[in-house]
Amino acid sequence: MVPDILFQDSRYVVLNKPAGIPVHAGPRGGVSMEDCFPTLSRRRDGPWLSHRLDADTAGCLVVALRKTPLLEAQAAFASARVEKTYWAVVRGRPEADSGVVTAKLLKRTAPDGWRMTVAPNGQDAVTEWHLRGSDGSTSWLELRPRTGRTHQIRVHCAQLGCPIMGDPVYGDGVGRLMLLARAIRLPVVPELTATAPVPAHMRDAIARLGG
């Protein structure tokens, strides 16, 4: 598996991660994004994932080719200086055309697995959102997370009353997850910017909603 490259220089590669492929192999093994790393660089000090995306999320995935760029990227993510833009197709329509979700998130584990929940004692989580199109029953949202909590976009869309289509944990799980890591800007010198195309399973919905 060799995904499309959205950006490449001597420090970083931004891969267009396909939906359904985990970023790294889990305990059971299987195909992961790390399988393509030998084609990116054969240096001993890399490549490494600079951050993570859920397995079913498509789009921009930043890979550091060397240790120093990795540390620079990790510092930028940790200090919330990385600008990330997501596109999601959701059920329903938000009450407003834009807004900010500030619901704190806490991980809870149950016999049937774990999930992130909204809780006053959770970690701060902030997501700006904007309505790009709607037919009343479904909507196209652009979201800009200001923090990087696990499942943040997915939980915050559900908090709006508009779960992401295809979300098996926070929505009805019907069809594939319609969430795209659309664009990223990494404030390093020189700056890294990349934009991912709309994946095939989201194209018809985005087009129908004005995209």
Catalytic residues: 54
Token pair of 121 as six digits: 């004692």
CA distance 205 to 207: 5
Name the pairing type of β-strands 179-186 and 58-64.
Answer: parallel
Residue 43: what residue type? R
CA distance 73 to 48: 11
Are the beta carbons of 157 and 87 closer than 8 angstroms?
no
Residue 162: what residue type? C
End-to-end CA distance of the chain: 29
Nearest Cα to Cα of residue 101 among 17, 49, 162: 162
CA distance 22 to 83: 22
CA distance 15 to 6: 6
DSSP letters for 159-209: HTT-PBTT-TTTS---SS--EEEEEEEE-SSS-EEEEPPPPHHHHHHHHHT
